[in-house]
Amino acid sequence: MNIGIWVLGDQLWHRQAAITTAPENTPIIIIESLAHIQQRPYHQQKLVLVWSAMRHFAAELRQQGKTVTYYEAAPNFATPLSEWVNLHQIQELRIMAPNDRPFLDKINHLQLPCKITIIPNNQFIWSETEFKQWASPRKRLLMEDFYREGRRRFNILMDGNKPIGGNWNFDKENRQPPKGKIAPPAPLWSEPDPITQAVISQVKSLHHIPTYGAASPFRWGVTREQALAVLDYFITYQLPDFGPYQDAMVTGQETMWHSLIAPYLNIGLLQPLEVITAAETAYHQRQLSLNSVEGFIRQVLGWREYMRGVYLYVDDDYANGNWFNHHHPLPDFFWDASQTDMNCLHQVLSQVERTGYAHHIQRLMVLSNFALIAGLSPQAVESWFHSAFIDAYDWVMQTNVMGMGLFADGGILASKPYAASANYIHKMSDYCGNCAYNYKLKTGAKACPFNFFYWDFLHRHRERLQKQGRISFILKNLDRMSEEELEEIRTLARNWHREQE
């Protein structure tokens, strides 16, 4: 039987399952689809990253002696696949299972003159089957339980049957506000080579296709060698002090001590277990602080694996969740940061426009928090996140945004809504110091929208939130407000939306 392999743009690993389970001389096809990138206005940095990484990966495969057919800017996937299958007389097309459900559905509906075989995905530590076996007997899918099971199962930071240091996590040590002058190391970036420069020019020329952000300056790595260099740089220079300020936000410090490896993990240039092993090895060999190493490992072994597992475990209808019944449209400033005078939003959104990146607290406690308390449509917010971020995929954003960020699933994933007033942003950033609004005020002309939206959110959903044990005590503060103050808060919230719409 003549076998062929289709390598997808987020499966750029030489040991991926479709390649390793096929005979050595099996022909490979890789396709750039213009139809695919028109599903939403993707960030130009992401298009450059994925297409350049795909082209570099194809070149590496050819250097290994493999037969690779590469289609640049094809109109769709179906046309080149049909041509290639007929040309090579392919009888079985093997594809490693995509992580995104919509793409798997697309594959299943392809009309090709050959058999299509889906090979289980091996780019995660937990297989889909293993996660379902862990999840199926449980009433609640708590990340902490999953994380501890992962530590035990893969013997990560363990001392026999107990966690090293006596605790499973050191979150309390990793929430320091950015007091005083802090000086994180500069991130390691890459210079575009001729292949990447050609992709940048191509992406800039896509005038007929809606996109977001800017393609240049482009500084991300596009090869496994460059991704490994970023990982090594992080382990050497950033991981030692990663923990304490991992939640902090500082103007002009876009990356802080964060690793910047998520884009590489999500397209296969790095593998999660090698990342975890590198961090754990550094802990033992260099006596790094346990709170920094554990905090980083929890992001990969815990949250990343958990989010993907939950995404594959829940029903297809998860994407339609809207527990709070929020329907306000996405404000225009999400697409153009210059249109907002809220400094925290301006800082984060302008950074995303330039780079396609923001760290997890900027995403959760600025962007998602605002969307939650302002009552924005969960589907509109998730679609924007998917468009805007360089590491975004359906499996990433469904659970992170719909579940953790917006509580649109009603608590399947998160134990409480991550709603906060301007006080949190003032504590964990320097954004409030140069803002048109006063972070202390919840009423009046200078009241911060984060404040009046926060209290309006609590008031609107008081009955539902009363059942959320970790947030119910905050609701008592509503009783201390006069009816006049509450009415002014509600009026400010309504007027804000009217001005936007």
The CATH number covering residue 151 comes to 1.25.40.80
In whole angstroms, what is the distance from residue 293 CA to residue 265 CA? 18
Residues 301 and 387 placed together within one structural domain of the fold: no
Does the pTM exceed 0.85?
yes
User: Do 95 and 138 belong to one domain?
Assistant: no
Report the candidate in 410, 311, 406 with the shortest Cα–Cα distance to residue 364. Answer: 406
- Is 285 a member of any domain? yes
**Do 335 and 187 belong to one domain?**
no
* pLDDT at position 324: 97
Residues 367 and 275 placed together within one structural domain of the fold: no
Assigned domain for 314 exists: no
DSSP string, 362-408: IIIIIIIHHHHHTTB-HHHHHHHHHHH-TT--HHHHIIIIIIIIT-T
Query: What is the domain count for the chain?
Result: 3
Q: How far is CA 480 from the centre of its chain?
A: 39
Indicate the SS3 state at residue 442.
coil
198 belongs to a structural domain: yes
What are the b/e assignments for 332-342, b being 16+ CB within 10 Å? ebbbebeebeb
Look-up of token digits 């097309």: 93
Q: For residue 118, which of 135, 98, 140, 100 has the smallest C-alpha distance?
A: 98
In a domain, 257, yes or no: yes
Q: Looking at residue 365, what is its pLDDT?
A: 98
340 and 449 both lie in a single domain: yes
Query: In this structure, are 298 and 365 located in the same domain?
Result: no
What CATH number is associated with residue 391? 1.10.579.10
Q: Residue 73 belongs to a domain with what CATH number?
A: 3.40.50.620
The domain boundary residue, chosen from 308, 334, 364 = 308
411 lies in some domain: yes
Residue at 16 is within a domain: yes
- Say which residues have a Cβ less than 8 Å from residue 353's Cβ, sequence separation at least 6: 212, 213, 214, 336, 337
C-alpha span between 52 and 199 (Å, rounded): 6
The answer to whether residue 14 is domain-embedded is: yes
Residues 36 and 67 in one domain: yes
Q: Under a CB-based contact definition with an 8 Å cutoff, are residues 470 and 464 in contact?
A: no
Contact between residue 336 and residue 374 where contact means Cβ atoms under 8 Å apart: no
Of 58, 68, 56, 116, residue with least CA distance to 92: 116
**146-181: per-residue pLDDT in tens?**
999 999 999 999 999 999 999 999 988 888 999 888
Same domain, 251 and 215: yes
pLDDT at 390: 98
Q: Distance between CA 168 and CA 185 in Å, rounded?
A: 28
**Domain final residue, candidates 101, 119, 137:** 119
The sign one gets for the Cα dihedral 445, 450, 456, 459 is: negative
In a domain, 163, yes or no: yes
Own/partner contacts of 108-112, CB < 8 Å, gap of 24 or more, are 110/77, 110/78, 110/81, 111/78, 112/78, 112/81, 112/82, 112/85
How far apart are the C-alpha atoms of 335 and 349, rounded to whole Å?
8
Q: For residue 327, what is the DSSP state? A: -
d(CA 253, CA 187): 10
Interaxial angle between packed helices 194-204 and 44-63, expressed in degrees from 0 to 180 and rounded to the nearest 10: 140
Are residue 237 and residue 254 in the same domain, yes or no?
Answer: yes
Residue ending a domain, choose from 92, 119, 146: 119
Residue 469: per-residue pLDDT: 67
SS3 45: helix
110/208 same-domain check: no
How many whole angstroms separate alpha carbon 447 and alpha carbon 441?
5
- Both 135 and 88 in a single domain? no
Domain that holds residue 253: 128-308
Please provide the average confidence, as pLDDT, over all residues in the chain: 96
Helix (H, G, I), strand (E, B) or coil at 71: strand
Are 443 and 416 found together in one domain?
A: yes
Q: Which two tokens stand for residue 223?
A: 């090869």
Q: Which amino acid is at 276?
A: I
Find out whether 55 and 195 touch, Cβ atoms under 8 Å.
Answer: yes
Question: Distance (Å, rounded) from C-alpha 298 to C-alpha 259?
Answer: 13
In the chain, which residues have pLDDT < 70?
469
Q: Cβ neighbours of residue 439 under 8 Å, at least 6 residues apart?
A: 422, 423, 425, 426, 432, 448, 450, 451
